[in-house]
Structure 1
Amino acid sequence: MPTKKDILDLHFMDARCKLIDVAAFLDRMERHTGEADFRLESFKKAIPILLSDQPDRAKAMLEAFSDHSSEPAASASIQGASGAPDPSLTL
């Protein structure tokens, strides 16, 4: 069974890089003009999950970015997923 140090040795630099990417994304959002949409709000609401000590943070993050509506939308506004639940489409 790997130890915490083993996990740090294997994955610390990758996780560090991803957090720097998140910080750079937020910096870019602050530097640019215009209105953000529901995706940025979903992103900001998910950050406290990352910082919590709760078990299963990855599952909680996936749930935070999931659309929990049970009824299908009347029509698709785009082809593909937006990556976050759009409150304007919630039934």
Structure 2
Amino acid sequence: MNKSPSKTDVLDLYFVENRAKILDLAAFIDRFDRAEGPAAVASDPRWIGMTKALSVLVDQAGEKARRILELWSDPSQAPIDRAEGKGAIGVWPGLR
């Protein structure tokens, strides 16, 4: 019977990999903060989705991956006749 890994096992296996991902994310946010352009871009659904996802990452509730995917997903239930645009942007365009 397989036992679940301990918290120490998870840290030992995945810390360095995820440390690098956090540094990449911090560098992305630094680039965004230094970039020129209108402040209105902060209302872009991609930026809103990023900042809301960061809030989920630091809260005390579980199932963070599921909650972030749901946050970024289109909440509508009814199918649409035709999709607008030419491709996915990684977050529901109506996110506010």
TM-score interval (norm. to shorter): 0.7 to 0.9
Structure 2 residue 10 is matched with structure 1 residue 3 = no
2:32 aligns with: 29
SS in structure 2 at match of 1:85? coil
When the two chains are superposed, the root-mean-square deviation of aligned CA atoms in Å is: 1.8
Residue 86, structure 1, aligned to residue 96, structure 2: no
In the superposition, the TM-score normalised over structure 2's length comes to 0.80
Q: Which runs of structure 2 are paired with 1:5-84 in the superposition (5 Å)?
A: 5-35=8-38, 36=41, 37-71=44-78, 72=80, 74-78=82-86, 80-84=87-91
Query: Gaps (5+ residues) in structure 2?
Result: none
What is the TM-score with the length of structure 1 in the denominator?
Answer: 0.83
For residues 82 and 23 of structure 1, the distance between their equivalents in structure 2, rounded to whole angstroms, comes to 21
